[in-house]
């Protein structure tokens, strides 16, 4: 069907009047707030009332979800913060212990040097007998008690020495 010249002009007037009355083009896209896509103010004004309500409901749900996530994150941060205090205290305690042990080692080395002895580190599987039996130490395992007496302040039980433990070897 073909419209005449007058009918075409009448349609243009009706469409033009509709635009002037605020009945502009409808919004052709759908904004999904959950994906971070929002309507502009102009687009929002062009929505029908039911679309506006649906959009506002979606924004309210998104706001509620974000508030829950923020609360969960704050709760987790508080838990980690509480743990951090305990970990810091343990680290400080270990640092003080390490400082004390380093001071003991320095004192032991100093005492050994002034006494003309040497400092040795206990290895895996070592015993006072085995250490005393080394040719570089005494060459005789029966002299283990000399090692024990020289290190009595570091050895509680002559049968229990540990790898890494440092002993003074008197000469």
The answer to whether 46 and 25 are in contact (CB under 8 A) is yes
Angstrom distance (rounded) from CA 133 to CA 53: 92
Least Cα distance to 142 among 160, 125, 130 occurs for: 130
β-pair partners for 120: 167
Give 137-161 pLDDT, tens digit per residue: 999 999 999 999 999 888 989 999 9
The answer to whether 131 and 167 are in contact (CB under 8 A) is yes
What's the pTM?
A: 0.38
Angstrom distance (rounded) from CA 120 to CA 165: 8
In this structure, the strands spanning 118-121 and 166-169 are antiparallel
- Enumerate residues 6+ apart whose C-beta is below 8 A from 131: 120, 122, 137, 144, 147, 167, 169
The mean pLDDT value of the chain amounts to 80
Give 108-148 pLDDT, tens digit per residue: 777 666 666 788 999 999 999 999 999 999 999 999 999 99
Phi-psi region of 116 (alpha: psi -120 to 50; beta: other; left: phi over 0): left
Angstrom distance (rounded) from CA 56 to CA 74: 27
């Amino acid at each position: 069907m073909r419209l005449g010249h007058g009918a075409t002009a009448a349609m243009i007037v009706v469409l033009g009047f509709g635009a002037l009355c605020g009945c502009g083009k409808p919004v052709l896209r759908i904004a999904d707030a959950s994906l971070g896509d929002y309507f502009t103010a102009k687009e929002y004004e062009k929505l029908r009332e039911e679309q506006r309500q649906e959009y506002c409901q979606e924004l309210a749900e998104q706001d509620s979800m974000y508030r829950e996530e923020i609360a969960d994150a704050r709760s987790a941060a508080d838990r980690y913060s509480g743990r951090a205090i305990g970990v810091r205290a343990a680290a400080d305690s270990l640092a003080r212990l390490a400082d004390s042990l380093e001071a003991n080692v320095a004192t032991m080395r100093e005492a050994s040097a002034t006494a003309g002895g040497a400092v040795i580190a206990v290895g895996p599987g070592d015993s006072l007998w085995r250490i005393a039996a080394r040719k570089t130490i005494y060459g005789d395992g029966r002299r283990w008690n000399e090692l024990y007496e020289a290190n009595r302040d570091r050895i509680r039980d002559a049968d229990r020495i540990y790898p890494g433990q440092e002993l003074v070897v008197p000469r």
